[in-house]
Amino acid sequence: MKTLQIITFALFATATLTAQDLIKTEVPTSFTEGLLKEYPNAKNIEWERSDNNFKVEFDVDRMERKVFFNKDGDKVKIEAEMIKTKLPIVLIESIKKHYADYRIDSVRSFTKNGITTYKVDLERAGWTEEITLTYSEAGKVLGINKD
């Protein structure tokens, strides 16, 4: 029993150390000001720190975004929920052609090193099958995951 308690404590301590929720005053001013300059309509802003890197989660027009910064304040990755009508037309056409009996459930974009990819969750009518497609901006399928 004592071993289980020690393991539980160690796991909790590790989880606590890997990512910390921050209050606004614990975040460098340049980060918070830069965020509000780029996303003036950001709501529900939550900051976290892992090692010397930062992550901020927030909503813009009821869509969640996550921006990851290195210790120098450089953006290293952006994840964003998006509405399906904002997908590049080449992706919409590909989905209509190859997955006509599915509907788009959700869409997320991922930008890293200037390259954007899209994850599109599709559902077949009646929720009988779900597929997650990963696309390049040019419309190339990079991955298919069936649930």
Cβ atoms of 19 and 49 within 8 Å: the answer is yes
Give dist(CA 49, CA 140) in Å, integer. Answer: 34
Cβ atoms of 66 and 55 within 8 Å: the answer is yes
Which tens digits make up the pLDDT trace of 75-120? 999 999 999 999 999 999 999 999 999 999 999 999 999 999 999 9
Least confident piece of the model among 17-21, 43-47, 117-121: 17-21
Give the 3-state secondary structure of residue 139: coil
For the chain, give the percent of residues with pLDDT over 90: 65
Give the 3-state secondary structure of residue 140: coil
Q: Give pLDDT, residue 18.
A: 53
Q: Is the confidence at residue 73, as pLDDT, over 90?
A: no
Q: Decide if domain 83-147 falls under CATH 3.40.50.2300.
A: no
Encode 8-34: b = buried (16+ Cβ within 10 Å), e = exposed.
eeeeeeeeeeeeeeeeeeebeeebeee
H or E segment and range at residue 145? strand 141-146
Average pLDDT, the chain: 86
Which residue, 48, 88, 42, is CA-closest to 65?
Answer: 42
Q: Give pLDDT, residue 97.
A: 95
Cβ atoms of 36 and 29 within 8 Å: the answer is no
Q: Is the confidence at residue 14, as pLDDT, over 70?
A: no
**pTM, whole model, 2 decimals?**
0.79
* Amino acid identity for residue 120 in this structure: V
Residue 19 pLDDT grade (very low, low, confident, very high; cuts 50, 70, 90):
low
